[in-house]
């Protein structure tokens, strides 16, 4: 089974993550950041991952450290669960409508971390969540999962819908990319022979 457990403890956060790539979409999420809990719950469901996340962070300061560090740890969990990446489809993409918003995501589990981010979130906050942390989360995730992730907003005005669309779209792209391709189950999907 492709799974990973990650513990990350700093002076700002104490995080535990358990991830199963081949799951049913169930999760137990408690990050201390309500909006991020909501995003990770739908990420889990749409990716069909089993995910447990707990974080004790310095949210009395703000949500930055918790959000970024969870992105780091979740990326590390994906990287570890993928192992040598043998047999994976490697690529995934989704154009996802979320009411008036339309979000494109594309993933390459290339072994190289990169985020190409093009979301225009119009408000500074959704509830108490600083919307600029969306980019911080996805950058931390992509670099630590060692994947290329493109996020592009094709339409949208509602900040909640744009961010939710990004999490759902990314989850579905990852779901496609991590799946085992039965035609190539013993192969590394690269001419280099490694990812």
Find how far residue 170's CA is from the centre of its chain.
6
Specify if 192 maps to a domain: no
Per-residue confidence (pLDDT) for residue 190, from 0 to 100: 87
pLDDT score of 186 more than 90: no
- Cβ contact 93:117 at 8 Å: no
Residue 32 lies in a domain: yes
Q: Is 193 part of any domain?
A: no
Judge whether residue 194 has pLDDT over 90. no
Residue 191 lies in a domain: no
Residue 194 covered by a domain: no
The overall average pLDDT reported for the chain is 97
> Does residue 106 surpass a pLDDT of 90?
yes
Please report the pLDDT score of residue 1 as a whole number: 82
Grouping H, G, I as helix, E, B as strand and the rest as coil, residue 170 is helix
pLDDT at res. 184? 86
Task: Return the structure tokens found at 52.
Answer: 């447990």
Chain-centre distance of CA 135, in angstroms?
Answer: 11
Residue 121's domain comprises: 3-184
Say what percent of the chain tops pLDDT 70: 100
Alpha helix ranges (H) inside 34-83: 34-47, 64-82
Q: Which residues contact 181 (CB under 8 A, 6 or more apart)?
A: 87, 88, 89, 189
How many percent of the chain have pLDDT more than 90? 93
- Beta 3-9 vs 13-20: how paired, if at all? antiparallel
- The CATH number of residue 135's host domain is 3.30.230.40
Could you say which DSSP state residue 180 is in?
B
Q: Is residue 119 part of a domain?
A: yes
- CA distances for 103 relative to 44, 137, 161, 165, angstroms: 18, 17, 10, 6
> 32-81, pLDDT tens digit by residue?
999 999 999 999 999 999 999 999 999 999 999 999 999 999 999 999 99
- Whether 188 shows a pLDDT value over 90: the answer reads no
Does the pLDDT value for residue 145 go beyond 90? Answer: yes
Number of domains the chain is built from: 1
Does residue 123 sit within a domain? yes
pLDDT at 123 over 90: yes
190 is a domain residue:
no
């Amino acid at each position: 089974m492709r799974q990973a457990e990650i513990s990350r403890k700093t002076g700002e956060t104490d995080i535990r993550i358990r991830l199963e790539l081949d799951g049913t979409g169930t999760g137990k999420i408690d990050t201390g950041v309500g909006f991020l809990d909501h995003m990770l719950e739908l990420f889990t469901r749409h990716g069909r991952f089993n995910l447990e996340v707990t974080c004790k962070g310095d949210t009395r300061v703000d949500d930055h450290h918790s959000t970024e560090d969870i992105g780091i740890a979740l990326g590390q969990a994906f990287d570890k669960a993928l192992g040598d990446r043998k047999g994976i489809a490697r690529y995934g993409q989704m154009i996802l409508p979320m009411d008036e918003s339309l979000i494109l995501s594309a993933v390459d589990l290339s072994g190289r971390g990169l985020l190409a981010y093009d979301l225009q979130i119009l408000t500074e906050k959704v509830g108490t969540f600083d919307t600029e942390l969306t980019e911080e989360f996805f950058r931390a995730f992509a670099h630590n999962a060692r994947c290329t992730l493109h996020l592009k907003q094709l339409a949208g005005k509602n900040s909640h819908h744009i961010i939710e669309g990004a999490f759902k779209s990314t989850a579905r792209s990852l779901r496609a990319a991590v799946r085992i391709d039965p035609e190539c189950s013993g192969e590394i999907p690269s001419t280099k022979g490694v990812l």
